[in-house]
Structure 1
Amino acid sequence: MTQRVCFQLQVKPDHIDAYRAAHAAVWPDMLEALKNTGWNNYSIFMRPDGLLIGYFETENLQASLDGMAQTEVNGRWQAAMAEHFVDLDVPADQAFDYLTEVFNLDDQLSRV
């Protein structure tokens, strides 16, 4: 069964442009690693104040997180992104503030 995962992080206000630029051209090996470890339909949204909301779908959240942790590129990416976030003392992918899904249209329609 596919899990829908949503998380939030906060980008420092003076790092918003740099964060956007980095995500406009994510390294090809990082993109491949995400896909190969089960991060599907992955998107990140950002408010003007730097609040990030990320969303992805996976068959197994822990397996996807563990898979990325085992890749060399993830370590490099997390190190490159670390300076952009507010008050993180661990890599961003270990600091996700997960949000609970309270509504899904397709789920409810399937019960009608």
Structure 2
Amino acid sequence: MKRMGMILGLRPEHIAEYKRIHADVWPSVLARISQCHIRNYTIFLREPENLLFAYWEYHGTDFAADAAEMAADPVTQDWWKICMPMQAPLETRAEGEWWASMEEVFHHD
């Protein structure tokens, strides 16, 4: 199992809508997340900085393949088309990232 954390900005004018749609995520999007071996997926919002922090646990053996499978899913693509205009990626993210990856520096069970 691999723990993953990522961070992303959220445009202030979209906060209410982002919360609303995430209170009722499409069932097929949730199913795809599970099919791609992601568990314990949580998104936190920090205001007033308007930062989203995502955490999940990956239980598969090939994250790149599972991420590609998720990205190829037409329903997930439609979901992202709704979410992405609301988001503000960090300028310091790595090339090719939307959500900026974070290094785990501490964990306690």
TM-score by length of 1: 0.82
Q: How does 1:1-112 map to 2 (within 5 A)?
A: 2-49=1-48, 50-58=50-58, 59=60, 60-86=62-88, 94-106=97-109
Give the structure with higher Rg (CA).
1
Q: Take 2:89 and 2:32, find their aligned partners in 1: how far apart are those partners? A: 26
The ranges of structure 1 where at least 4 consecutive aligned residues each deviate by more than 3 angstroms after the TM superposition are none
Choose between structure 1 and 2: higher helix proportion. 1
Tell me the secondary structure at the aligned position of residue 88 of structure 2.
coil
The percent of aligned pairs where both chains have the same amino acid is 31
Choose between structure 1 and 2: higher strand proportion. 2
Q: Provide the alpha-carbon RMSD of the alignment.
A: 1.5
Q: Take 2:89 and 2:101, find their aligned partners in 1: how far apart are those partners? A: 17
Q: How many residues align?
A: 100
Residues 3 and 61 of structure 1 are in contact (CA less than 8 Å); yes or no, is this contact kept in structure 2? Answer: no
1:87 Cα offset (Å):
5.3
Q: Which moved more, 1:71-80 or 1:56-65?
A: 56-65
TM-score by length of 2: 0.84
- Unaligned 5+ segments in structure 1 are 89-93, 107-112
- Unaligned 5+ segments in structure 2 are 91-96
Letter in 2 for 1:44: I
